[in-house]
Structure 1
Amino acid sequence: MKIAATIAGRARHRPAVERVRVAYEDLAGRFDDVRRLAKDARQEAYRHSARPEFAAIGQDLADFLEGPRSLDTLTERINELRSQVMAVHARVHRETVNIGVLGRTKAGKSTILRKVANQGEDVIPSGSDFPTTAARTRIYHSPDRREAVITLRTWEAFRDEYVQPLHTSAGLGAAPRTPDEFAAYSYPASVTIDSGTRGAGAPPERLSAQPFLVKLNQAQRSFPSYRQILLGQERVMTVPLASLRPYIAYPLDQNGVDRPYHAVRDVHIYCRFLVDRARLVLVDLPGAGEAGLEIDRHFLRDINNDVDLLLCIKKPIKDTVHHGTDDFEILQLAQDAGRDVRLADFLMMVVNRDADLGEGSFRNALTAVEAVTRPHGIEVLVCDATDEASVRDRLLLPVLDRLADRLADMDAMAIERMRGGLADLADEVGDLLSRVNRSAAEWRRVLPEDEDELYRQAAKLRRSLSLALRELYKAYEESVRGGTPIDEIEAAIDDAERRVREWAAQGYGVGGHSEWEAETVAAMATEPFREYERQLNGARHEITRQFQHIDASLHAAVDRLWGEVAAVLRERLTPDLVPDGPDALPRLLEAIGHLNVPAFRRAVERLAQLKKDYGSLFLRVATPIVIKVDLESWQARLMVHRAGAAPAPTATPSGRTGSDDEWWLDYEESAQPRTPGDAPVSPAPRPGAGWTEPAGLGTPADHTKNLAALLNSAIDEALGELTESLRRESLSITSVLAATLWVFWDGAGRTPDGELEYKKICGPYRTTIWPEVFDGSAAQLSGRMGALDEGVGSLAGSAATLQQALTGPAGA
């Protein structure tokens, strides 16, 4: 119950830890900016180091960048703290109690895990002569589930995390880049001790490389067994526990080629434990001593604070009863993994009693272990891994008692140590910034006085830019007042209308009127009503197909506006700030991202959002018109064409209720089928001509002629309404573009004190923008130093925010 309460209590730490994490990430990002800006300024100072004042500034910047209490030193400290911050963040969000289990080969680790998890060797295998654990495995107590969820590596992860370290250790250089290259790579079977000249691709000379060659050959020979899952789309798979072994262990036959474990990153096993603790998780760490991979250190670094307590299993056997170098290495790994809590809380040693070891030898071994662990307060447990009761009573229950007693304190200690480390970091950053600011005053004193000239030039540039934007705005405004539609949209409307009319003139898509007449007469002989409906639908679809491209013209109009504004800016700010191409404005925003120029940045951002905000022109304007080109809309007109109003319903020959004017129904029910040759069909009227309803029952030819007139009328009416509505909307869009341009002009060209923003923007580029005013040396360095000042100010604000987050209540 106490463990469950502690886990539930982690939730109260989450808001405070999240505030600290966000503040830390902001500080780290701004610190990188300052480091980059300082390097840029140092490089600029060194370019002109013949001038003594420049050389002095360059040396000062070098001292800030390198050496003790420097930016480089703090960069290392920031990176170290990142893993600590993320570990604490993961800790307070973890809703399980995780016990890591680590041990050398044959120590009995797998046996203990099987006892605790109530599983056999098919789920938690072990081998008598070679290591078996090949992936990090988590075992969850779950009364209702009995399965494993496997997370797979990608090819890139397998190459970088497995193949490349083995290549490096074997002295083979770079690993193959692709799966095919790996499959075809010629790996030597063994090392060579030939002292002669070695050619490219020759076997390594060092005998110590042999274990790495063995693993590489195994991975390559077995590649077909895991290639598909390594390269497949699925990154997670679920398997029954009975089928799990190949994914987590080496094959029992050392020469076996079925080794899918190479593709496995993590395994999560769900089963019922020996003791019913619902939130208990065992983290099975890989067997220590994996050749070339440093798997034990690599995985402990990965999990860091991802385990709440670590069990180190040791099994003294004959001739190895002492506490050797390997055991001290495990202690060091444990200290690294649990560095944010006391080692005595995080680590427990487990001595697995070997039945074949005499009592005296076992006591000597236990004494040796305790001599190492006692000074650090590390508790030593003794159990027989082969005995279920011993594992439960002498290992598992004491471990759970330890967690119940210490877990809450461990959580609090991890948080406080993180806070302490970050507080020290904020102080160190503050001290460094104070040194930079003191030096900056001297730098400004010795630099030539061209800041005033930069301000004057920035003011002139702003006025020039404002006038140019005003002229561009006036051109758009005149188009609005003169009723001139947007060129791109006007051209798209004309093109769409032309294509629809061409389609109609060429037999409504059939290829010619004679072909269309022949096909239509044949269709009218059997189902005239459906033919009317089909061909009206075809006309509607063709109009839709041609006019739906109108949206592209809207985008082109927006692109043109962007290009015109970018050209105005480029002419004054140079391509260094506003490059050519469609991404000119985004790249400008990127270039000024670190500067405090809110008005200019906001103006550019608003302009760049225009295309996203306006929506689809076709859907808004054209669709309501196009949908009226269908039989239902035109049927009503046919019903009232002759009399001016719909006649009273009458009974059709089939007994349906209808009308004398429903001639397509009369024909369908009463007329004898006719062939196209029975009655010649007159040429269809040109598009736009009116149609004439046939009197009485019509022939297929009559219906065909009438359909042509009907199609032409429907197309003419739709095109007329479409072009009128779209041109009217085009004028409205012109107004939108003009208004957008006015907002940009107002924000970028007429903001009060805008000269100060343009001074910041142009400072680093002053020699490019005004080569006749600035000679390039002092001005360029001054610009770099100004950017550095901006970065230092932002970093100081981030440090203050971090301090504020650290001084807030821990559980708030």
Structure 2
Amino acid sequence: MSRAERIEEIRARRARRAEWLDGAHGWVTDTLGRLRELDALRTEMLALVPDEAQDRLLALGAELGDLLEELPTEAAVTEAAASRFRRATLNVGVIGRARQGKSRMIRSLTGLSDREVPTGDGGFCTGVTSVLRHEDGVPTRAQVFLHTERSFLHEVIAPYYAELGLGPAPTTLTEFARPLPPAPEGDGAVEGSRYGHLAAFHAALPEYRHYLTTNSPYPIGPERVREFVAQSDERDEQRHHAFRAVRHVRITTHFAQQDWTGLSLIDLPGLGDTNLQDAQRIVGALRDEIDVVVFVRRPDPLGDGLDTYDHQLYDHVREGLTGAELARCSFLVVNRVSGPAGDNSANARKMVDEWLPASRFQVAGAHIVDCTRPDEVAAMTDAVLDHLVAHLDELDEQHLAERAEKLAELRERTARLAARAGRLADLAQPSEIWFLPFNGLFEQTYEQMANALAALVRSLREDRDLTDGLLADAVEEILDAAQNDPGHPTVAQLVARADAEGGLSVAYGKYLNESRARLSRRFLECDVALHARTARMQDEVAGVLRGPGSLGGLAGLGGAEGREFLLRTAERIPRVRQEGGSEIRYALELLAGFTLSYRGMLQHRVRTCLDGLHADSPTMPFPHDRSPSGQEVLEMLEVAYDEALFACRGELHKVLAEPSAAVFSLVEEFHDRVISAAGTKEEWRVFYQDVRAEIWPGRFAALAEDAAHLRRWSEAVRQLGTRTAAGTEGGAAAGKETAA
């Protein structure tokens, strides 16, 4: 497959990706319109609904505001990405500081002269971006895309005012033509240079002002290109100012060297002075237009290196290529020259072999090229294009994945907002309409919840003296493992350690301590059973609140269970007492924070049983009046261990019911706090009143049907929810499929 065929295949894949992005852009713009409508209704309703609903509307306004701010940005980014994928060409951006040879390199590749691709040795020659596209057998033609008055003032002039602190930027050319504000005092050389650039735009305004009202694109012949892209013409020492009104120039020509069908070159202004506009053009062009970057650098024959200016340029480019890995889509062309000024071949080789690897200037490849030689430039371009064709799909998928991820986030947030907005109609009605139905529902639900909690307390009371099955099983498993695998040494190991560490008594003492540590460590596994018992208790209480208490529909709880359900419910309890905190919130947090643990319930009992495994107070003291054999010492160790294990078994069997008693005590305390304590029923009433639209969805909506503003609100929310749901079903999957 030829390169042209491979480029065409990439273009076809990009076209499919552009279709998905068009759909995503449509969803964003449609959702933006619906949210704006909803926000307008929200503002209107603030004067029509009770205080409670006003609070909800105000809270909803913050979420709406965030989305209304983000969606226009996402619409623009998605449209730009779709335009990128609809392009008919693969674009190579050629970037370099002034006087490094990039324009000469482009001329070598295209066969154009300095009238279309100007060069200059005395200053910053290229003033605007030029896009050069290959088209077979066509004469050279050019189109100039000009600024409008508004875009010129906003994109070119306003940044200088902001950067230099000159106050509000002009909004008309007439304002800009008036005397400039004075230069800031005490600023450095950079600020002074920037003010000089602004002053140049101001002084030359009569020379280019008429172009800001000229229609684009403005066709010109190739002989006039230099007039619009160059800052000066060294041939007649003439200064040009038309470039100040130009966004970019597009040149279509037949590249001289070979068939470059599907390729465009983007010649960006040389960077190296303090012109803000040049840096902005680089970043803007990279973000929207460029697929791969070629940096051009000409080393000085007398000594050089990748310095601050090079890294600043690299940072500008990296800023523009948001989301892409610059190291995978950029190349460095090291311009080799020889002539009266010297031969830089040695430093060109050093730049590739030594200076580049030691810097943070990371690229996919580096080529030493004489930019005046068309054959060398063509060979380098072949290598760049081959890399681009091989890796462009990966880079495109990265762009697409970023948009799909952001779109999924916006859809999720919009769906959550629609769900919250949908519950508002149940609240936005006078209390005389909803209070009586609510009161009946609350009394019924409260009674069910209180009865269910009381039943749970009775059940736990009946079981409080019974062995906890989870702990009993865990203890037996631990004791059996400790019995079957005590970890004792062999006689040979014991004797060898005694020889190494100073005698059998020393070895015996150390083995006792190690046995104690090993046996103690086993009992830490009781935590698993105790935590499971705690979690089961929390699940049981949460089940009462979720079922008989009807709190399973609370927004934000999702699939929360047990402890998490209790904590999230506690967060929703409002403050209703003028003095002191909420009894219900306190009880929920207490229950959620409770845990049964080995260290709290059992450790102190086990440690007492292990006293006989201390080297200083062993169950079987070492006989210092004689010299026991290694076998005798091992038997002493085994006896001490077995007696400690026996003591642990007996002590733990005494406390197997304690988890049941602890759980009962805590749940009974919880019942007393949330049911029996004075004033708690009214706390529950206020809480249920606050969340009535969440736990009884639809029960109050019918009461609002007679209110025109609520009908309009409900319809707007329904349409938003329907659009979001439809987008959610197909959007993420489509994005993944397209990227694949």
TM-score (norm 1): 0.50
Look up the match of 2:243.
261
Look up the match of 1:248.
229
**Contact 1:340-1:417 at 8 Å conserved across structures:** yes
Aligned residues: 462
Q: CA deviation at 1:437?
A: 4.9
Look up the match of 1:367.
354
**Contact 2:132-2:251 at 8 Å conserved across structures:** yes
After TM superposition, list the pairs within 5 Å mapping 1:454-465 onto structure 2.
none
Q: Does 1:18 align with 2:22?
A: yes
Which amino acid in 2 is paired with 1:392?
Answer: A
- Cα distance between partner residues in 2 of 1:354 and 1:37: 69
- The SS at the match of 2:231 is coil
Counterpart among 382, 390, 405 of residue 397 in structure 1: 382
Look up the match of 1:218.
200
Q: Deviations over 1:351-385 (max 9, x none)?
A: 334554462685256533234568x6733333232
Q: Deviations over 1:685-733 (max 9, x none)?
A: xxxxxxxxxxxxxxxxxxxxxxxxxxxxxxxxxxxxxxxxxxxxxxxxx
Counterpart among 278, 292, 300 of residue 309 in structure 1: 292
**Contact 2:127-2:231 at 8 Å conserved across structures:** yes
- Cα distance between partner residues in 2 of 1:33 and 1:328: 48
Counterpart among 121, 143, 162 of residue 156 in structure 2: 162
Q: CA deviation at 1:71?
A: 4.2
Which amino acid in 2 is paired with 1:370?
Answer: P
- Structure-2 change in CA distance of 1:192 and 1:24 (3 Å): closer
- Cα distance between partner residues in 1 of 2:396 and 2:171: 43
- The SS at the match of 2:94 is strand
Q: CA deviation at 1:138?
A: 0.5
Look up the match of 1:382.
368
Look up the match of 2:82.
89
Q: CA deviation at 1:111?
A: 2.0
Which amino acid in 2 is paired with 1:144?
Answer: V
Q: CA deviation at 1:123?
A: 1.4
- Structure-2 change in CA distance of 1:366 and 1:107 (3 Å): farther
Q: CA deviation at 1:422?
A: 1.5
- The SS at the match of 1:150 is strand
After TM superposition, list the pairs within 5 Å mapping 1:40-119 onto structure 2.
53=52, 58=55, 64-66=60-62, 70-75=63-68, 77-119=70-112
Q: CA deviation at 1:262?
A: 1.7
Which amino acid in 1 is paired with 2:219?
Answer: T
Structure 1 unaligned regions, length at least 5: 194-204, 453-755, 765-782
After TM superposition, list the pairs within 5 Å mapping 1:740-779 onto structure 2.
763-764=708-709
**Contact 1:287-1:296 at 8 Å conserved across structures:** no
Look up the match of 1:270.
252
Q: CA deviation at 1:799?
A: 1.7
- Cα distance between partner residues in 1 of 2:47 and 2:266: 50
Structure 2 unaligned regions, length at least 5: 436-700
Look up the match of 2:518.
none
Q: CA deviation at 1:397?
A: 0.8
- Cα distance between partner residues in 2 of 1:797 and 1:23: 12
- Structure-2 change in CA distance of 1:339 and 1:212 (3 Å): closer
Counterpart among 132, 135, 138 of residue 131 in structure 2: 138
Q: Does 1:799 align with 2:724?
A: yes
**Contact 1:192-1:206 at 8 Å conserved across structures:** no
Look up the match of 2:10.
6
Look up the match of 2:451.
none
- Cα distance between partner residues in 1 of 2:355 and 2:414: 46
Q: Deviations over 1:640-690 (max 9, x none)?
A: xxxxxxxxxxxxxxxxxxxxxxxxxxxxxxxxxxxxxxxxxxxxxxxxxxx
Q: Does 1:422 align with 2:422?
A: no
- Cα distance between partner residues in 2 of 1:361 and 1:285: 23
Which amino acid in 2 is paired with 1:352?
Answer: N
Q: CA deviation at 1:125?
A: 1.4
Q: CA deviation at 1:250?
A: 0.4
Deviates more, 1:399-408 or 1:344-353: 344-353
Q: Give me the CA root mean square deviation.
A: 4.0
- Structure-2 change in CA distance of 1:74 and 1:174 (3 Å): closer
- Structure-2 change in CA distance of 1:361 and 1:340 (3 Å): closer
- Cα distance between partner residues in 1 of 2:395 and 2:88: 15
- The SS at the match of 1:291 is coil
Which amino acid in 1 is paired with 2:381?
Answer: L
**Contact 1:317-1:354 at 8 Å conserved across structures:** no
Which amino acid in 2 is paired with 1:801?
Answer: A
**Contact 2:17-2:82 at 8 Å conserved across structures:** no
After TM superposition, list the pairs within 5 Å mapping 1:219-368 onto structure 2.
219-232=201-214, 234-252=215-233, 258-273=240-255, 274-289=257-272, 291=274, 293-301=276-284, 304-317=287-300, 321-353=304-336, 355=338, 356-357=343-344, 359=346, 362-363=349-350, 366-368=353-355
- Cα distance between partner residues in 1 of 2:203 and 2:346: 46
- Structure-2 change in CA distance of 1:170 and 1:88 (3 Å): closer
Which amino acid in 1 is paired with 2:94?
Answer: V
Q: Deviations over 1:510-549 (max 9, x none)?
A: xxxxxxxxxxxxxxxxxxxxxxxxxxxxxxxxxxxxxxxx
- Structure-2 change in CA distance of 1:44 and 1:762 (3 Å): closer
- Cα distance between partner residues in 1 of 2:40 and 2:100: 50
Look up the match of 1:810.
738
- The SS at the match of 1:370 is coil
- Cα distance between partner residues in 2 of 1:177 and 1:211: 23
- Cα distance between partner residues in 2 of 1:207 and 1:340: 34
Which amino acid in 2 is paired with 1:160?
Answer: H
- Cα distance between partner residues in 1 of 2:171 and 2:726: 44
Look up the match of 1:672.
none
- The SS at the match of 2:269 is coil
- Cα distance between partner residues in 2 of 1:72 and 1:316: 52
TM-score (norm 2): 0.54
Q: Deviations over 1:28-69 (max 9, x none)?
A: 332344455556667988xx9xx6x46xx53x5555555xxx
Which amino acid in 1 is paired with 2:415?
Answer: G
- Cα distance between partner residues in 1 of 2:296 and 2:48: 58
- The SS at the match of 2:78 is helix
- Cα distance between partner residues in 1 of 2:393 and 2:723: 31
- Structure-2 change in CA distance of 1:176 and 1:75 (3 Å): closer
- Structure-2 change in CA distance of 1:36 and 1:217 (3 Å): same
